[in-house]
Every structure is written in structure tokens, then in C-alpha cells.
Structure 1
């Protein structure tokens, strides 16, 4: 009888310990396979550059290959939705952006995922200032005042390019038109590289994008950067005025990038990846490169803090997107 009771006690103790043992083993195993980081835009843009900068360092920190996979389309919602519908096993993540979350929530009536419910916010990577540029191909404007005058004198004559419907560039330009009471045609492309080619060729007349990407084109005389839509001038292009300095006091345009996983991602995976991202962002070489791009690292965020940040951004940008009149369906 005593022996039977002892066996029962040992069995009960083992059953109670099993979940903890399994969790410990799981923590030790992850990552146990290649990690895919989905970039929901084409090659050559800021998201692609950022993720390819971080991937080697994350591979080193996590002891597992981190590969970058581009899945562009629908203003970043295709690639983001792909991850939202992936298994929460720690093998698939997305470098989502403001356009994938706050902008998309206001742009699409039938967005196939909920940015809060269907994604796990892991950690932000960097903040993205936006500048407004015009082509110099068959367009001679010296400053923002002349550009606005040209738009008002020629309704719908001009067009602007972006990396897709609902991308940050799309909403930034659409909001600029709203603020200035002007109209133009939006032409979506599958990546920033295609937009730049269209700008150089004069196929589109303006765009809104990252100063570091537009600066070389400005230096070559292929585009002219008119202003940056931030509170302070960019250290990359200090001679370019801010939106407020050109008379657009309440106009702002920016984005941010961050890593998300599918909903129900185990907490130990979320926490470990968040710590790895913060460590990678603190690497001197990576940090210096991000500063050179003019897209400073966003460090010190816990997953909970980042999740709250995303929710606040959605609440801020949904009304802005709807007021711009931009829609995707």
C-alpha cells in the first residue's frame, strides 16, 4: 500500500513538472530552424535595406540562419497578411511598417488581418523621416511655393509614385495634396526602385520617401528635394527646409519599421527575439549605418511597450488616412 502510494505521488509530481520541463526544453531549442524575415516591399527600398543590414547580426546572436524574403504587393499588406496567417512557431516574421498597421487600418475596409489581434508586436527597428521631392525631367520648379502653384494651375495633370497603395509614400503624398487643396494621380509601383526610375524618366512628377534614398538623386540633379516633413531639418540634407518653414505648419509624414510575428507567438520566443533585435541595433556598425541613412534606431522597447506604441499609432493615423480621401477597396 505504501509502495503504491509512493508510485502515485511520484507520477503526480512528474505530471506537474512536465509542462515546466517542456517549456524549458522549448526555450533551449528555439530557434531550431532557419528564420524567415518577410519584407512586404520590393528590393531597394528602406525596409529591404534595413532588414538585410540586421539579418547577419541576428543570425550571429541567435545562432541560426536569418534569411530575408521579399513579398511585395498591396502596399505591404500581402506580405504582412502572409505572416499573420503563418504558424506561430518562431520561423516566420515580418518587418512591418506604419503603412502595414495604422495606415492599412484606415485605408482598407476589408483588410484581411487585424494589426493588433492577428500579429504579435516584437520590437521596433528604426524611425523613418519623409521628404517631398519632384523630378527635374521636364519640370522646372525652384521651391515648394512654385510647386504648389503649378499643381493648382494644372489639376490632375501631374502624377506621383509610391511603393504601393497604402504605403507610407502614398499616404504622405495624398495628405500633401489634401493640405494644399490640389489634385494629382497616384501611380503605385512594386518597390521604391521602380518609383525612382519613374521619377528620373519623368513618368511621375513627385514622390515622398526617405531623405537618404532621395539625396543621391538630388545630388545628381535628377530630382529636387523640396522639404522634409519633420519638426527639425535632416542632418543628411541640412539645406532643405522643413514643412513648417515652407508654410505647411501642420503637415507631418513619417514611418517606422518593426518586427512582428503571427498572433499567439510564445512569450519566450517574443522576448528572446526582442532582446536580439535590441542587441543588433546596438551594434556600432549597424547603429552607424542607420544614422548615415537618417533612420535612427528605436532601442529600449519591450514587446509590451512596442505593442502599446503600435496601438497608439493606429489610433492616430486611421483618422488622418480617412481624411486624406485615400482608399484601397
Structure 2
């Protein structure tokens, strides 16, 4: 099994959670989950799907707050510097917890490992690539040939430097030996609009979010960067099917707390997240989207997973030559 496929399998495996009795006293106040990316994207949609269930389980309102900027590092830094009292959590991704380390270097205002504590992952995210119909290409081979024949002429978009979409596109260009300008937007909705209007040539994101544009014909999905086709767009080939070999791109979302948050609170929140993800309606919706729930994780296992992701992605990002804007 290829290395990245093994990592995806690891991300979806289950392990039991224990609930300390003294964690039952928390929470006594409303809870905020800071989503470090804009509205309309996968981070926002998936977190808003589980928030009502978390509120029901925990007996307190769970409010989503979008704090956007710098590839998700603005929101992450805000939570890292928040009081560790169980009232503020972060919805983070591989972008602001692993990719940001080599992209920002000494400019990164927080340490993902030391300043934040992992609670639980939520969903595993395959990545697909979509190109504007205005390019006049009908498949990945034509798309790749167009980019190679016009170095630097076209541009691609993402929700910020260091996001998984940015790295997926940058690594793709490196793989095919082409160049294109990177343009950032405040949220994925703006990026999708730019592709539809032909302002940028392509972007990378969750297949389920790209599917409506693919079906409408305003943009065409080139491939999904996973071993298997996405149930959201079963007619779209994989990267391997279009000749990109073992090229892979994925992300994951997860909940973090400020370092120093009492472990009973962290464990109780992890248990609540797992319970919410196990709800049949929520689980079915994630399966529909092609973003399977990552159920049954302990905080320690999530911490160890982050360390392994940092070990994987830091050298890959450096090799791609990608830099923060």
C-alpha cells in the first residue's frame, strides 16, 4: 500500500475514548469554535454540521466564529493565545498545523505543537483540481499540455498561502514542470467564482465543493488526487489515471485547544466530538460529501498523528519551493 494511502487508512481507523468523571462539570459557559478560514469552504461547512450536535451533547451553545487570514494562521494564533479555560477551540487543518511551518518559518507566530493541544480530528479531506471552462480544455492531458506550453501565463487560486489547496496546486505544477502565478482569496467561494469567470485558470479543493461547477459546465474537474475516485464526482479520474503517477493531495480537519487546557476538558470535548461524528445523519452527510468522519480518536493519538504529518509535509513543501505570500 502506498505511503500516503497508509496514512489515510491510519486517519480513518478507530480507537476507544475514556471519559473522566470529573470532566462532567464542564462546560458551564458557551463554547466558541474558531474556524481559521472563510465561509463557504469545507472547514466552515463541516464544522457547522457538527456544532448543533455538540451543543446538544454538551448542554451549552456552540458558536462558530470565522477568523480569516494568512492561510489559517491568524485564527490559529488567536486560539493559541486565548485563555485555556475550555471556552475557545480551533478548527484547524493540515495547512495551519503542518504546512505553515516551512512556509512561514520564523514568522509563524505560534508553535503548532507547543502552543496548541490536539483534541480530535473531524474529517479526512480528499483534494481535487478544477480548471476554468474558458481555457478550452476538455481533459487533464490537454490541461497539462496547455500549462507546459505557456510558462507563467496562467494563474491559480487558493484561500491563502500555505493552505492545502495552495500546496496541492504548487506540487502539481512542480510535478508537470510548469509555472503559474498564485492568487489568494479571502474564502473558497471567491476562488470558485474566479475560476468560473476565467479570472484564474484553476484551483484545488474538496471534490464535493467543486462538483456543482463541474456539472454545470462552468469549470471542469481534471482529476482527484487520491487512490480512488470520489463518490461526489465518480466520472472524474484519479491523478494516477491521467498520468500523474503517485501524486497525492489531501487534508484533514480537527479541533484544537490552547495549550494548558485541563486534560479532563480536552478528553470530554474529544468524547463529544466522537459522539457527534457517530450521529447517523451527520455521518451520512460526510459520506455523501466524500469527506469521511475520523471517529474514535484519543487526544494522544491525534497529537502523535500531527507529529507524523509534520514529518511528512515539511520536506515536501520545502521541495516544492512554495512560500507564504
TM-score, length-scaled by structure 1: 0.91
2:234 aligned residue = 238
Residue 285 in 1 paired to residue 266 in 2?
Answer: no
- In structure 2, what is the Cα distance between the partners aligned to 1:197 and 1:150? 22
Matched with 1:176 is 172
Q: Does 1:224 align with 2:209?
A: no
1:150 is the counterpart of 2:146: yes
Larger-gyration structure (1/2): 1
- What SS class does the counterpart of residue 29 from structure 2 fall into? coil
Offset at 1:28?
A: 4.2
8 Å CA contact 2:286, 2:292 repeated in 1 = yes
Q: Which runs of 5+ in 2 are unaligned?
A: 1-19
Alpha-carbon RMSD: 1.2
Aligned to 1:123: 120
Matched, 1:136 2:129: no
Residue 250 of structure 1: how far off its partner (Å): 2.1
CA deviation after TM superposition for structure 1 residue 282, in Å:
0.2
CA–CA distance in 2 between the matches of 1:194 and 1:280?
Answer: 30
CA distance in 2, matches of 1:151, 1:94: 37
Deviations 1:236-270 (A, max 9, x none): 21221111111111211000000000011101001
**Secondary structure of the corresponding residue to residue 34 of structure 2:** strand
Preserved CA contact (<8 Å) 2:156 2:203: yes
CA distance in 2, matches of 1:97, 1:248: 25
Quick check: 2:231–2:288 contact (8 Å CA) kept in 1? no
Q: 1:29: how far off?
A: 3.1
Match 1:254 to one of 250, 255, 265: 250
Pairs within 5 Å for 1:1-329: 27-109=23-105, 110-137=107-134, 139-328=135-324
Distance of 2:297 and 2:268 partners within structure 1: 13
Q: Secondary structure at the match of 2:162?
A: coil
Q: Which runs of 5+ in 1 are unaligned?
A: 1-22
User: 1:232 and 1:28, CA in 2 relative to 1: closer, same or farther beyond 3 A?
Assistant: closer
Contact 2:30 2:63 (C-alpha < 8 Å) held by counterparts: yes
Q: Deviations over 1:5-26 (max 9, x none)?
A: xxxxxxxxxxxxxxxxxx98x7
Q: For 1:28 and 1:218, how far apart are their aligned partners in 2?
A: 47
User: 3-state SS of the aligned residue for 1:246?
Assistant: coil
Residue 186 of structure 1 deviates from its aligned partner by 0.3
Query: Partner of 1:123: helix, strand, or coil?
Result: strand
For 1:50 and 1:235, how far apart are their aligned partners in 2? Answer: 17
1:107 deviates by 0.9
Secondary structure at 1:248 match in 2: coil
CA distance, structure 2, for counterparts of residue 47 and residue 328 of structure 1: 20
Separation in 2 of the partners of 1:283 and 1:301? 16
The alpha-carbon deviation at position 79 of structure 1 amounts to 0.3
